[in-house]
């Protein structure tokens, strides 16, 4: 884990209240795994005091890219930064996706959940995903077309993209889980599901994967204070032998086997 102060190389809007920002760090780029996250804040920023967790979106030639959506003061301050201004960056943190090259990877993204999946898609191709019939497929959903993030980059990476929007403005009208369900009914081969998005979507994806007896990894979001396992601020209910327990999303996750999570809590 590194703690670095890094100048922003570029920052640009890419969707409604969503910005892509990039900075160079050979150290973080060399260690980062898909599904891991960084704790970031503007240098010297006192309000909010604590850094915010943001997934690693892409790693290319030593440059780290993030997608940041404005939801409150912390993300607003980050997205108002300009190229050349300095970010405090801690990471890479957490447990990322476990790549299993033997099964067809089905990536499922809801809204901002697309952020960590581009890094995963590019890593899957690097790990041999160009074999015939083994190329990853992306199921991506949002309320409208504008909420489907990084579509161009996903397509450039070589993925087959199956989109769904609730208003029908792009792809099929409906939920991304409807598209996944229809696909799983005709699945010709073994597959593994990797999902990131709102909790309701993750719960539905976990249930579909369980019905089809497919392995499924989900990336969870929780409020975080320390990001390093010290404060228990990010605890979620976990199924374990001997009764209910909890897991720290920042340290035990953010990526979990779907069966590890107690979705009814
Ligand atoms: C592992 C991990 C990875 C993440 N990756 C990304 C990413 O790649 N891009 C990105 O934009 N965001 C990501 N997030 C979410 C991001 O950390 C939060 O949106 C951010 O911390 C909010 O800080 P804030 O100061 O802007 O808002 P706050 O002032 O902390 O919150 C403002 C309001 O938004 C609500 N809120 C806060 N966080 C969330 C949330 N996660 N979901 C829904 N409502 C929330 C609060 O309850 C409050 O009502 C990630 C979170 C985690 C845990
Ligand atoms: S954020 Fe402190 S323990 Fe996870």
**223 versus 15: which is more confidently predicted?**
223
Number of domains in the chain: 2
Peptide bond into 92 cis (omega under 30): yes
In a domain, 240, yes or no: no
pLDDT at 131: 62
**pLDDT over threshold 80, residue 75:** yes
pLDDT at 132: 59
Q: Which residue in 115, 129, 100 sits closest to 59, CA to CA?
A: 115
Shared-domain flag, residues 113 and 190: yes
pTM of the model: 0.95
**pLDDT over threshold 80, residue 23:** yes
Shared-domain flag, residues 109 and 81: no
pLDDT at 129: 59
Scored b (16 or more CB within 10 A) or e, 114-139 reads: bbbbbbbbbbbbeeebeeeebbbbbb
Ligand 2 binding pocket mutation candidate from 90, 228, 238 (most atoms within 8 A of CB): 228
**pLDDT over threshold 90, residue 40:** yes
Shared-domain flag, residues 26 and 70: yes
Q: What span, in angstroms and rounded, lies between the C-alpha atoms of 107 and 105?
A: 6
Q: What span, in angstroms and rounded, lies between the C-alpha atoms of 225 and 46?
A: 14
What percent of the chain clears pLDDT 90, i.e. is strictly above it?
Answer: 83
Domain that holds residue 138: 104-219
pLDDT at 2: 95
Domain boundary among the residues 93, 125, 152 is at 93
4 φ, ψ (degrees, to nearest 5): -135, 155
How much is the average pLDDT of 76-99? Answer: 96
pLDDT at 188: 74
**pLDDT over threshold 80, residue 78:** yes
Domain boundary among the residues 67, 93, 119 is at 93
pLDDT at 133: 63
Shared-domain flag, residues 83 and 110: no
For 156-204, write each residue's pLDDT tens digit.
Answer: 988 999 999 999 999 999 999 999 999 999 877 789 999 999 999 999 9
Domain boundary among the residues 41, 60, 93 is at 93
In a domain, 225, yes or no: no
How much is the average pLDDT of 69-74? Answer: 95
Ligand 1 site residues (CB inside 6 A) read: 37, 48, 52-55, 67-69, 71-75, 112, 115, 221-224, 254
In a domain, 79, yes or no: yes
**220 versus 15: which is more confidently predicted?**
220
pLDDT at 15: 84
Say which CATH number the domain at 162 has. 3.40.50.80
Q: What span, in angstroms and rounded, lies between the C-alpha atoms of 129 and 99?
A: 11
Does residue 50 line the site of ligand 2, with CB under 6 A?
no
Shared-domain flag, residues 140 and 65: no
Scored b (16 or more CB within 10 A) or e, 68-100 reads: bbbeeebbebbbebeeeeebbbbbbbbbbbebe
Going by alpha carbons, the residue nearest to atom 48 of ligand 1 is 72
37 φ, ψ (degrees, to nearest 5): -135, 170
How much is the average pLDDT of 129-150? Answer: 86
What percent of the chain clears pLDDT 70, i.e. is strictly above it?
Answer: 98
For 100-125, write each residue's pLDDT tens digit.
Answer: 877 899 999 999 999 999 999 999 98
Please tell me the distance between residue 232's alpha carbon and the centre of ligand 2 in angstroms.
5
């Amino acid at each position: 884990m590194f703690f670095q102060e890094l100048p922003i190389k570029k920052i640009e809007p890419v969707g409604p209240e969503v910005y892509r920002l990039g900075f160079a760090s050979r150290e973080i780029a060399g260690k980062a795994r898909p599904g891991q996250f960084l704790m970031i804040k503007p240098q010297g920023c006192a309000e909010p005091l604590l850094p915010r967790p943001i997934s690693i979106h892409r790693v290319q030639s030593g440059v780290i890219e993030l997608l940041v959506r404005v939801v409150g003061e912390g993300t607003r301050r980050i997205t108002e930064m300009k190229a050349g201004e300095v970010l405090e960056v801690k990471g890479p943190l957490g447990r990322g996706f476990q790549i299993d090259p033997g099964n067809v990877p089905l990536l499922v993204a809801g809204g901002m959940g697309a952020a960590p999946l581009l890094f995963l898609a590019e890593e899957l191709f690097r790990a041999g995903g160009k074999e015939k019939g083994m190329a990853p497929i992306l199921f991506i959903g949002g309320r409208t077309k504008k909420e489907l993030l990084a579509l161009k980059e996903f397509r450039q990476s070589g993925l087959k993209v199956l989109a769904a929007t609730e208003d029908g403005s792009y792809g099929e009208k409906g939920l991304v889980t409807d598209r996944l369900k229809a696909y799983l009914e005709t699945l010709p081969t073994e597959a593994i599901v990797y999902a990131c998005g709102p909790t309701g979507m993750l719960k539905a994806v976990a249930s579909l994967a369980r019905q089809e007896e497919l392995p499924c990894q989900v990336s969870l979001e929780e409020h975080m204070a320390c990001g390093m396992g010290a404060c228990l601020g990010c605890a979620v209910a976990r199924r374990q032998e001997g009764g209910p327990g909890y897991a720290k999303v920042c340290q035990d996750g953010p990526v979990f086997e779907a069966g590890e999570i107690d979705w009814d809590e």
